[in-house]
Amino acid sequence: MKTHLKMASKLRSLGVIGVFALAAVFSPLPSLAQVKGGEIVIVQGSNPPSLDGMSTSSQASRNINMNIYETLYGFSEEIKPIPILAEGVDISDDGLTYVFTLRKGVLFHNGDEMNAGDVKASLERYRVVGATKNLLAPVKDIEITGDYEVTFHMVENTPTFLEAFSSPRAPAVIIPEEDGATEAGKNSFVGTGPYKFVEYVPDDHVTIERFDDYTADTRSEGIDGFGGKKTAWLDRVIFRIIPEPGAQVAALEAGEVQILEQIPMPAARRLESSPDINLFKNARWAFTTFIFNTSVSPSDNVKFREAVQVGLNMEEIMAISSEGLYTLNHRWQYEGTTYDPGMIGAEYYNQADTERAKALLAEAGYDGEEFSILTDSNIPQHGRSAVVIAEQLKGMGINAVINQVDWPTALNVRMQDEGWNGWTLQMGIEPYLGPVGLIATLASPARPHFVKPDAELDALYQELIKGATVEARQETFKKIQAHLYEIFAIIKVGDSGLMHAARSSVKGFIPFRFPRVYDIWLEG
Amino acid sequence: MTTEAASDTLSIGREIRLARRRRRLTFVRRLLAHPSFLVGFVILVLFTLTALLADVIAPYAPTELNYRFILAPPSKEFWFGTDAYGRDVLSRIIYGTRVSLRIGIYVVVMTGILGTLLGTLASYVKWLDGLIMRSLDGLMAFPGVLLAIALAAALGPSETNAIIALTVTFTPRTARIVRASVIVVQGMQFIEAAYAAGAGHARIIFRYILANALSPLIVQLTFVFAVSIVAEAILSFLGVGPPPPAPSLGNIIADGRSNIQEAWWIAVFPGLVIAVAVLGLNLMGDGLRDILDPRHSSARDRP
Amino acid sequence: MIRFLIYRLLSAIPVLFVVTLVTFLIMWLVPGDISAEIGGIDATAADLQAIRERLGLDQPLWERALRWYGDLFRGDLGHSYTLNRSVIDAVLERLPVTLSLAGLALLLATIIGMLLGILASVRHNTWMDQGAMVTALVGLSIPDFWFGIVMIILFGVWLGWLPTGGFVPLAEDPVGWARSMVLPAFTLAITQMGVIARMTRSAMLDVLGQDYIRTARAKGMRARTVIFRHALRNAMIPIITVVGVISGVLLSGAVVIETVFSLPGVGRLIIGAIQRRDFPIIQGGLLITACVFVFVNILVDMAYVWFDPRGRDDD
């Protein structure tokens, strides 16, 4: 909704020509304005760690890969599983068999037609190299039951399986059978998507070009989330890697590039009224969180953690860490989504109550012990929220110090039970995936982010994934929300957004979890 | 020993002491009369005073943040504007000079000690020469920035580790300079005379050789100081400098670089401060070289 | 000359050996490894262990070192963990960028620096001398990466004359290559330009004061002939020494400039590898960079011999 509001205000400033162009952006039907051909350059800050779609969960990879590869099932614009390469699925009443039928005539970039053999080979490979291979843990085996049909036999009934299987986090993409035995990162980068891989020059660019024999899914009118009817208008798309945000903006303003995956907010405000540049707000991009280490002093004390929770001024942390693009939200879901738990926990949120914090600290017997905040220099929001949190903690009388290291070191340190007390983390894709994806990072069998497993949360997590109906799961999630505000092991700071920017010659761009470079075109 | 001889020795000793003091006085006088040394010296004094008196002259605490004043342009309240946290840039720069100065001094002292030690050892102990010099060549074969980044990544970003990384990077060249000048001095006649007179190794090294090899070392260390200040900024720019929230001139620039068009003041002012500080040190180095190194100063005096 | 060359090449071997030892030391010190990057943020300890085993990271460092040296003797520097190519390919495809940058910067620094220096020495003790030396000193004192950021805004965005960053291969588009290199090379050159200007000036003043130059002048030889044929020729030795030192400094400085101008050079390759813990790239990249450095130094030494008047007889 916010995007539309934003666009409405832009419409006023752009005048008549802009109105036509922008009307085309939001028109669900193909319009005459679409132009085939041309090339655009889209910028992101870091190299894709891998162009092997299934073996990585990194955003920098997903941005590119989701234009090259497709999955059997994926999320729609409304975050519901929809068939993409699958024709559909039949789930037995006991939930123990899933029969997937495949779309016929879908071609890989190498010209071969996709069939059941490719699907089985891809998913067997996923079990080995998939970055979130646990999502196939409920599947006992995969059987080819026809040229265009595969059947999953399940270990046990898992009502949330199809949602997990549709996850774009490390997507279970379908690749040719020949690549089935390749090591992670060593496949031929052949998929079924509207664009095919051309070249990758690390630290410089990844080039993809239109796959002319792409088999569009004609079941819908246009694109829908990760699926729908996709049309590649552009001849070539170049993903350029520019690490410096300032240089990214400079390149956009100079017209050397057409889209920025992320534009710093101060630059966005400056360019708001520029006729050459359009801004696209992705308000629900990530949760800003602050995670405690519940196994070491002083953060092992729940009173201490409660003190921090009520003492923090979330508005200040969010305003600075997100550069002003944020929503205050105490919920462990986005407001108004299926699992929105309502006002549970709101009384602890954004209190900025230093006095109460000090009283709780006294109650906890806090004696000025060092409180070490782990953060990294690679993701700017992490560092910024650590700085603001540390300053606020000092105001409460907590001896907070910042330990800023690089990202691999941070991941290494937080895997250790000692040596850190708090950790700043942006959760991007987890909240998007809904409650299961989010709570999975806090409950066994995974190592919880806050280190020491919480038996009650583990039980609630099992209840959540086994919940037979949406209503049952909603009830469970409310309990989880309430419990998270009892143990204070992880603090929800707020929802932060992401601003994309594009030259006004780029038409049809709709912000999403990754930049969809199909169904966008250049003004003729 | 007769009294005459004793008084002779005494008077000679006094003569030498007086001569030395005179020399020292003329040295200081010549330095202060040297215009570029003087300008550089004044800059360095101002820089040092700023660092020492930071608590008194900074209008705000360097880490005090306020989200209502994010990216405020220079004004009466904030002379150099505010940064993305709403912190006063001027106060951060004032406190940041402390970090730069501290890094500079530590690197100079450690480089000076290690460089002298290794350089003297290499020139004095024949069988160590090859080993030391090849190791130093090896360190010098790394691009300095990469070596410093790798070390900083290995040790973790902190002021101390930045100092260690920079010392490792700058020591080889300093050691080479010491070694070269010691070798020159070693060949001189007065050293042979000292040996003939039965002076011990330690005495000769400290009293004669090092004393005479000092000039090029001092000049080199002035430049090491200057380069350290820039190197801190480079390390911060690449994300391995002194960590937040404490300000350093480098991490202020690093904080401001993505908003350079919207809030030029964050990156521009500390950059200028670095440039002026480095300029001052270079001017001082020039002055020292002119006066300590007669070959160069004679070149200057020629028509 | 040949004997000298062979001697220099042989003496480079222990130096490069030290380089490899130091790199292993760094890798031993560095916390974390690439498993977290590959496994992602929610990988379990077992997942990470499996990745380490696949990459051989679970073995003790001395074993990895021995295997690495063994491979090195067969001319194999290994494969990158993340870039999907061999270390040699990864470095060689970047080398043209770094060498273009450092080479052009050297050229700019030498030409501008020497012109400033000659100007200052010939017009000694005039406002031109002072102006040239202040310029040199300011250039010497400006932090170059900071200057680069300012240049991007000025020439890339406000004036729009030059690209804001990125690299165009020379073979693909020579004009684009030149345009993409102007700002980075100039930025990188600015500090060293000051060094060369100062060195040239003092070397020239040395030579200009000598008797044979005075004689030549007294004989009424044209000033330009005196300066360029005689004085400069003899001032070249100290200048070449400085240029030699600078080549190394430029290779090092290129690392930062590549980041500022988003150039895919060797420096950024290695920085990225350090940040990702891509050990084979760190190891091989630093070794190859060191080789280039040593090779450049040998070239400089040979130029030194070439210009040394004692080594030639036509003076």
Give Cα A121 distance to the centre of its chain.
Answer: 26
- Residues of chain B positioned with their CB less than 8 A from the CB of C202: 296, 299-300
Range ranked top by mean pLDDT from A144-148, A198-202, C12-16: A144-148
In the three-class reduction of DSSP (H, G, I as helix; E, B as strand; rest coil), residue B150 is classed as: helix
pLDDT band at C64 (very low <50, low <70, confident <90, very high): confident
pLDDT band at B290 (very low <50, low <70, confident <90, very high): confident
Give a yes or no: residue C18 inside a domain.
no
pTM over 0.90: no
- Residues of chain B positioned with their CB less than 8 A from the CB of A406: 153, 157, 239-240
pLDDT score of A294: 95
CB nearest to B258's CB, from A244, A270, A378: A244
Task: Enumerate neighbours of C (3 or more CB pairs within 8 A).
Answer: A, B
CB nearest to A243's CB, from C54, C164, C262: C262
Shortest Cα distance from C15 to chain B (angstroms)?
4
Domains in chain A, ordered, with CATH? 39-240+505-522 (3.40.190.10), 284-496 (3.10.105.10)
Range of the domain at B7: 1-33
Q: Are A257 and A251 in contact (CB under 8 A)?
A: yes
Averaged over C55-80, what is the pLDDT? 84
Give a yes or no: residue C81 inside a domain.
no
Q: Kind and range of the H or E element at A373?
A: strand A370-376
pLDDT band at A4 (very low <50, low <70, confident <90, very high): very low
Q: Does A379 touch chain B (CB under 8 A)?
A: no
Give a yes or no: residue C222 inside a domain.
yes
CB nearest to C251's CB, from B139, B143, B237: B143
Share of chain A above pLDDT 90, in %: 74
Averaged over B14-42, what is the pLDDT? 77
State how far the Cα of A443 lies from the Cα of A456, in Å rounded to an integer.
9
Q: Does B55 touch chain A (CB under 8 A)?
A: no
Tally of domains in chain B: 2
| Per-window interface: A 40-79 vs C, CB < 8 A | 47, 49-51, 55-58
The answer on B25 and B96 residing in a single domain is no
pLDDT band at A3 (very low <50, low <70, confident <90, very high): very low
- Whether the predicted pLDDT of B186 surpasses 80: no
Shortest Cα distance from B83 to chain C (angstroms)?
17
Q: With an 8 Å Cβ cutoff, are A391 and B86 in contact?
A: no
Q: Which of A43, A70, A46, A42 is nearest to A60 (CA)?
A: A46
Q: Which of A322, A312, A386, A393 is nearest to A353 (CA)?
A: A312
Q: With an 8 Å Cβ cutoff, are C167 and A204 in contact?
A: yes
A211: which residues sit within 8 A by CB, 6+ positions away? A109, A193, A194, A195, A196, A232
* Signed CA dihedral, A296, A298, A304, A307: sign only: negative
Distances (CA, A) of A327 to A283, A315, A319, A335: 8, 9, 9, 10
- Whether the predicted pLDDT of A29 surpasses 60: no
Lowest mean pLDDT among A179-193, A270-284, B130-144: B130-144
CB nearest to A264's CB, from B156, B244, B259: B259
pLDDT band at B4 (very low <50, low <70, confident <90, very high): low
State how far the Cα of A95 lies from the Cα of A467, in Å rounded to an integer.
13
Q: Does C209 touch chain B (CB under 8 A)?
A: yes
CB nearest to A201's CB, from C36, C164, C264: C264
Q: With an 8 Å Cβ cutoff, are B85 and A387 in contact?
A: yes
Identity (one letter) of the amino acid at A14?
L
- Whether the predicted pLDDT of A333 surpasses 90: yes
- Residues of chain C positioned with their CB less than 8 A from the CB of B278: 140-143
pLDDT score of B220: 86
The predicted-structure confidence for A434-462, as pLDDT tens digits, reads as follows: 898 899 889 987 789 999 999 999 999 99
Q: With an 8 Å Cβ cutoff, are A251 and C165 in contact?
A: yes
Q: Does A200 touch chain C (CB under 8 A)?
A: yes
Q: With an 8 Å Cβ cutoff, are C255 and B279 in contact?
A: no
Q: Kind and range of the H or E element at A491?
A: strand A490-503
Query: For chain C, which residues lie within 8 Å of any Cβ of chain A, measuring from their own Cβ?
Result: 31-34, 36-45, 48, 54, 82-84, 90, 93-94, 149, 152-153, 156-157, 160, 163-167, 259-262, 264, 268-269, 272, 275-277
Q: With an 8 Å Cβ cutoff, are A267 and B70 in contact?
A: no
- Residues of chain B positioned with their CB less than 8 A from the CB of A390: 245
3-state SS, chain C, equals: CHHHHHHHHHHHHHHHHHHHHHHHHHHHHCCCCCHHHHHCCCCCHHHHHHHHHHHCCCCCHHHHHHHHHHHHHCCCCCECCCCCCEHHHHHHHHHHHHHHHHHHHHHHHHHHHHHHHHHHHHCCCCHHHHHHHHHHHHHHHCCHHHHHHHHHHHHHHHCCCCCCCCCCCCCCCHHHHHHHHHHHHHHHHHHHHHHHHHHHHHHHHHHHCCHHHHHHHHCCCCHHHHHHHHHHHHHHHHHHHHHHHHHHHHHHHHHHHHHHCCCCCHHHHHHHHHHHCCHHHHHHHHHHHHHHHHHHHHHHHHHHHHHCHHHCCCC
Give the residue from chain B lying closest to A385, CA to CA. Answer: B85
E-strand stretches of A97-170: 97-102, 139-146, 149-154
- Residues of chain A positioned with their CB less than 8 A from the CB of B72: none
Q: Which of A73, A365, A409, A85 is nearest to A215 (CA)?
A: A85
The answer on B54 and B22 residing in a single domain is no
Q: With an 8 Å Cβ cutoff, are B240 and A319 in contact?
A: no
The count of CB pairs under 8 A between chains B and C is: 135
Q: In the structure encoding, which two tokens stand for residue C192, read together?
A: 């060293």
Q: Are B165 and B110 in contact (CB under 8 A)?
A: no
The predicted-structure confidence for C163-205, as pLDDT tens digits, reads as follows: 888 888 888 888 888 898 999 999 999 988 988 898 888 888 8
CB nearest to B85's CB, from A250, A267, A388: A388
E-strand stretches of B108-193: none
pLDDT score of A524: 67
Suggest the residue from A126, A187, A188, A204 to mutate for an interface test with chain C (most C CBs closer than 10 A). Answer: A204
| ipTM value > 0.90 | no
The predicted-structure confidence for A456-509, as pLDDT tens digits, reads as follows: 999 999 999 888 888 999 999 999 999 999 999 999 999 999 999 999 999 999
Averaged over B212-218, what is the pLDDT? 80
The values of phi and psi at residue B242, to 5°, are -55, 130
Task: Enumerate neighbours of B (3 or more CB pairs within 8 A).
Answer: A, C
Q: Are A377 and A383 in contact (CB under 8 A)?
A: yes
Shortest Cα distance from A10 to chain C (angstroms)?
24
pLDDT score of B204: 76
Suggest the residue from C29, C57, C81, C84 to mutate for an interface test with chain A (most A CBs closer than 10 A). Answer: C84
The answer on B133 and B55 residing in a single domain is yes
Identity (one letter) of the amino acid at B14?
R
Suggest the residue from B133, B140, B146, B266 to mutate for an interface test with chain C (most C CBs closer than 10 A). Answer: B146
Tally of domains in chain C: 1
- Whether the predicted pLDDT of A10 surpasses 60: no
* Signed CA dihedral, C7, C12, C18, C21: sign only: negative
The predicted-structure confidence for C85-109, as pLDDT tens digits, reads as follows: 899 999 998 888 998 899 999 999 9
Q: With an 8 Å Cβ cutoff, are C18 and B156 in contact?
A: no
The predicted-structure confidence for B30-63, as pLDDT tens digits, reads as follows: 778 888 889 999 999 999 999 999 999 999 999 9
- Residues of chain B positioned with their CB less than 8 A from the CB of C29: 151, 154-155
Task: Enumerate neighbours of A (3 or more CB pairs within 8 A).
Answer: B, C
Residue B117 class from Cβ within 10 Å (0-12 exposed, 13-18 middle, 19+ buried)?
middle
Q: In the structure encoding, which two tokens stand for residue A149, read together?
A: 């049909």
**B179 C-beta neighbours (distance < 10 Å), count:** 24
Question: Between these two residues, A177 and C223, which has the higher pLDDT value?
Answer: A177
Range of the domain at C218: 90-311
**A219 C-beta neighbours (distance < 10 Å), count:** 15
Instruction: Provide the CATH number for the domain around residue C205.
Output: 1.10.3720.10
Give the residue from chain B lying closest to C294, CA to CA. Answer: B141
Q: With an 8 Å Cβ cutoff, are B138 and C14 in contact?
A: yes
CB nearest to B142's CB, from C31, C202, C286: C286
Q: Does B254 touch chain A (CB under 8 A)?
A: no
The answer on B15 and B144 residing in a single domain is no
The predicted-structure confidence for C211-261, as pLDDT tens digits, reads as follows: 777 777 777 777 777 777 777 777 777 777 777 778 878 888 888 899 888
Lowest mean pLDDT among A215-224, B91-100, B118-127, B166-175: B118-127
The answer on B101 and B20 residing in a single domain is no
The answer on B68 and B15 residing in a single domain is no
Give a yes or no: residue C263 inside a domain.
yes
A516: which residues sit within 8 A by CB, 6+ positions away? A66, A67, A223, A230, A509, A510
Instruction: Provide the CATH number for the domain around residue B157.
Output: 1.10.3720.10
The answer on B87 and B107 residing in a single domain is yes
Averaged over A288-298, what is the pLDDT? 95
Lowest mean pLDDT among A69-73, A304-308, B170-174, C246-250: C246-250
The answer on B9 and B121 residing in a single domain is no
Bridge partners of A492?
Answer: A289
3-state SS, A303-345, equals: HHHHHHHHHCCHHHHHHHHCCCCEECCCCCCCCCCCCCCCCCC
